[in-house]
Structures are given as structure tokens and as C-alpha cells.
Chain A
């Protein structure tokens, strides 16, 4: 009797140990020794501040210079070299966003008195000019170049507005204030799919068949939390993120992905980017603290040993496939700017 009890006790202990082992082991990740063996030293080779908050990273034209808004506006040539700061138009101003529109560099600044300003310049040399048509002192949020239009979201006097520019370089510009029905919060993103304009404000998705008409709330996608990003792929599919899910719309309606969680927490997505020729195209989505995801495989990236990215908040992404080596740039919150060089099979990450 006692002997049987001992055997049962031993089997129970073994099962408990096995359960503990299973609970500790994440089979989605590579085993520890293998992961360590395959680590490569992280190189920091471009002189970018390693603790910077990179709000936006853009490229002038394919093969052209990169620009990064990280408090200071930085630029470097794509082939090599180091990042150089660009002087702000006002002493002490912080660069919070940057965009290219009609061949002009457009940059948003937060001035020392907490008011905002929008400036444009030729890409080279830099010569700042204020963009007219916005309320004086309005803080600039979104800057988005959509084809022949530049969308600028502002906060002024407690009111959120969205402006549509078709020309920024003439002293008196024509803008359209699109926010008659969109005053509940900041406009987080804008996209144009076909002839339909889409915009997200908090947990509401807006659409408009004509930019000069009023945006109307679109209730075909409902979410509990705020929408996190809006992106149009080269194939014409619109991507949207909310509540730890992707929503895709190829023009025939919205389809939700399965919910993506890490340790029980819904993943908050921040921004999208599309790569091509790697082979195939991939749409990656940056997150607010869990690296980035491949939207087709829902795989969390990069390899988990690169902690600054794997646990990083990705605020901005840029793909440059114009060179011999495709490059993916990730702007992070407090971990600077990272560059992935495609080696034919994987991204090899280096801190800029």
C-alpha cells in the first residue's frame, strides 16, 4: 500500500515538474543555447542618438536622403555616412514630425512657448519658410502625404482640426478644414483608397467619397479601444489596427484578424510599412512595446535576443528597397533608430 502511494507521489511530482517546464518554455521562440550561439554583435555605426524618441522617419525620393524627426531633425544619405542635425527655424524648437510633399521638406515644430509651427524647405539646401493657412500657434499632429494632398492635423484652442493642402509653397494656400464632424479627439491617421478617404479619430472610423464633402462615421468596424493606424498597401488593401487586431479591406469590406496578445495583453499597433522584393511583399506593423509583427504570418519580430526592438515601442518605420541591400528603418521610443539590412534571408539589425 505504502509502496503504491510512493509511486503515485513520484509520478505526481514528475507531472508537476513537467508542467512547470512547459509553462516556462515558449515554443514560439528558439531555445536559449541556440539563440545565444546565433547572436551577432550589435553595431552602432551611424552616430544617431541611441536614446532618441524617433517620431517619424522618411525618405526624400527612392534613393534619396533619409530624414528623422527626433526632437532634432536629422538627415543622412542612404548609402552610408552618419546622421547630421538640421537647425530648427526657431532656436530651441523641437521637431515632432516630418514629411515630403511636392519635393519639399515639411517639418512640424514645437516651439519653446509650447505653441506649434509648420515649416517647409527645399530638401537641400535647407531654408525654412512658415506654412500658412493654419491657426496661429496650432500644435501639429499628423503630417501625411497622400498623392497630391498633404493632410495636417492640428490642435488649437482645445479643438482638433484636419487640413488638406494641395500646395504649401505659395504665400496664400488653399486649405480645406475637414473636421466639422470630427472634433472628439486628435485625428490619428488618414488614407486614400481608390476614391474614398478614410480617417481615424479615437474609436471612430470616418470615410468620405469626396474630400470636399463631410466625413461620415463608418460603423462597419467597431472597436472598444482607439484605432491605432491606417495604411494603404501597394496592392490596394487598406490596413487598420485596433484592440490587438488587424483589419484589412481590399475594397470589398473589412476582415478582422485573430486577436494578438502577449502575456494576456492586447498588442497596440502604431504604424505600418510595406516591403517588396525580399522576395514577395510584407506589411509589417509596429507596436507600442512588443517589436513589430508581420501582418500575414502574425509573427512577432525581430529575433527575441535584440531586446531593444523585441520589447521596443516602434513609432515609425521606413522601407528603402532602392539600394543593392534593402533596408528597413525602425524609429523607436527611447531606443533610437535601428536599421535592418536584408541579407537574403533575414534582417540583420544595427543601431544607427
Chain B
């Protein structure tokens, strides 16, 4: 069951990088001339899709056999500011939900700053990024604000200079230490697979 789950995740990731491998066969010289973004341009992106709970890990390295969370949903709004053709800094706000085995909903709202570097392989664009910030976690009566780290990448098809569409794969790492009883501390590990539309102006 667990193996099949990870095989499915790997297949999705493989689909995400297909455009990258396909583009390697294209004219490298043409790609080198691509210059889409410049300093001062801004991008807004909206993403929505699946939230996949992977595993919890204690701070002494033990992995949980289950997260007790079902496949959930997530959405992200990104505002970015281009520094040059490759680099972008921005702010992302996400939200997710997932249901536990007792039918309770877990919610997380990460608010992060983003640093991103884009590879341009016409007509595709592959931004690789790292979000870090705070994650508001809410479950029943309990709420926390945790640190969150979200490394990820996207494959975007540039419809034109303004619009791009594609898929995101983002890993969520949420450490939740618990000084009052360190045994109860956990690191949440999740995967976001979302479709995205971005507009640059």
C-alpha cells in the first residue's frame, strides 16, 4: 500500500519534469537568447491542487507508520518581483485542508517569502524555489504557529510573455517542537501537487 503510494508520487513527479527532458533536444542556441523577464517586472500566480500527507517524524529520527490524514486540497497565491531574467523574490500565502481518521479537519496556512531561480527552455520555464516563513496550524481546539520550509519547482508552459500555465511540486517541511514534552514533538512532511496559472506584468 505504502509502496504503491510512493510509486504514484514518483510518477507524478516524472510527469512534471517531462517538459524539461523534452526541451533538452531543442536548439540550445535559441534558448540562450531567451530573455523574458527584467528588473521591475511583477508576477502573480494562483495554484490549486492536491495536498499529499507523507509522514511525521519525531526529532529523534523515528518515522510514523501513518499520518492518519487523507488526501487533501491546497491553494496558493504568489506575488513576485523579478530581479532579472532568472531571479525572483516574492511572497506566498497558502492554505490546505485534510481530514483525519476521526473526520476532523487539519488546516494550515503558510505565509512565506520566496526566492526563485528560473531556467528558460523555450517554450517552457522551470522555476526552482524555496519558500520559508510561518505556518499557522489549526486542528480542533489546538493552534500553533510553526516555522515552515517549502522547497519546490514548477514546469510552466509560456503561452505568451504574460501568461504561463503549468504544474507545481512543492515539499512542505513543518517542524513542530514541543518543549513541554519533547517526545510529542513532530516534523510534518507533506507534498503539494498543484496546477498553476501565472500572469506577468
Q: Interface residues, chain A, CB within 8 Å of chain B?
A: 17, 20-21, 24-27, 29-42, 304-307, 310
A29-B142, A37-B64 provided; 6 other pairs, C-beta below 8 A?
Answer: A31-B185, A32-B144, A33-B186, A37-B186, A304-B140, A310-B140
Is B184 a contact partner of A25 (Cβ separation < 8 A)? no
Is A41 a contact partner of B101 (Cβ separation < 8 A)? yes
Which residues 168-201 in B have Cβ within 8 Å of A in the complex? 174, 176, 178, 180, 184-188
Is A17 a contact partner of B176 (Cβ separation < 8 A)? no
Classify chain B's interface size: 20 to 34
Within 8 Å by CB of A26, from B104, B141, B186, B187, lies B141
Query: CB-nearest residue of chain B relative to A40?
Result: B101
A-B contacts, 29 of them at CB < 8 A, read A21-B144, A25-B144, A25-B145, A26-B141, A27-B180, A31-B184, A32-B106, A32-B138, A32-B142, A32-B143, A32-B176, A33-B187, A34-B184, A35-B142, A36-B56, A36-B67, A36-B69, A37-B68, A38-B68, A39-B68, A39-B100, A40-B101, A40-B102, A41-B102, A42-B101, A42-B102, A42-B103, A305-B140, A306-B102
Within 8 Å by CB of A31, from B100, B102, B176, lies B176
Whether A37 touches B56, Cβ cut-off 8 Å, given contacts A31-B144, A31-B176, is: yes
Q: A30 — which chain B residues lie within 8 A by C-beta?
A: 142, 178, 184
> A26–B144 Cα gap in the complex (Å)?
8
Whether A37 touches B67, Cβ cut-off 8 Å, given contacts A25-B142, A32-B137, is: yes
Contact with A along B75-117 (1 / 0, CB 8 A): 0000000000000000000000000111110100000000000
Q: B134 — which chain A residues lie within 8 A by C-beta?
A: 17
Q: Could you tell me the distance in whole angstroms from the C-beta of B134 to the nearest C-beta in chain A?
A: 7
> A42–B67 Cα gap in the complex (Å)?
16
Whether A33 touches B56, Cβ cut-off 8 Å, given contacts A41-B102, A305-B104, A306-B102, is: yes
Within 8 Å by CB of B100, from A24, A27, A36, lies A36
Query: CB-nearest residue of chain A relative to B106?
Result: A36
Is B101 a contact partner of A310 (Cβ separation < 8 A)? no
Q: Interface residues, chain B, CB within 8 Å of chain A?
A: 56, 64, 66-69, 100-104, 106, 134, 136-145, 174, 176, 178, 180, 184-188
> A37–B187 Cα gap in the complex (Å)?
11
> A36–B137 Cα gap in the complex (Å)?
12
Query: CB-nearest residue of chain B relative to A300?
Result: B141
Q: B143 — which chain A residues lie within 8 A by C-beta?
A: 24-26, 32
> A21–B134 Cα gap in the complex (Å)?
10
Q: A39 — which chain B residues lie within 8 A by C-beta?
A: 68, 100-102, 104
Q: A40 — which chain B residues lie within 8 A by C-beta?
A: 101-102
Query: CB-nearest residue of chain A relative to B55?
Result: A37
> A241–B165 Cα gap in the complex (Å)?
63
Q: Could you tell me the distance in whole angstroms from the C-beta of B122 to the nearest C-beta in chain A?
A: 42
Q: Could you tell me the distance in whole angstroms from the C-beta of A25 to the nearest C-beta in chain B?
A: 5
Whether A305 touches B185, Cβ cut-off 8 Å, given contacts A25-B144, A29-B142, is: no
Whether A36 touches B145, Cβ cut-off 8 Å, given contacts A42-B102, A305-B100, is: no
Is B145 a contact partner of A21 (Cβ separation < 8 A)? yes
Query: CB-nearest residue of chain A relative to B103?
Result: A42
Q: A307 — which chain B residues lie within 8 A by C-beta?
A: 102, 104, 140
Whether A20 touches B184, Cβ cut-off 8 Å, given contacts A36-B100, A41-B101, is: no
Q: B56 — which chain A residues lie within 8 A by C-beta?
A: 33-34, 36-37
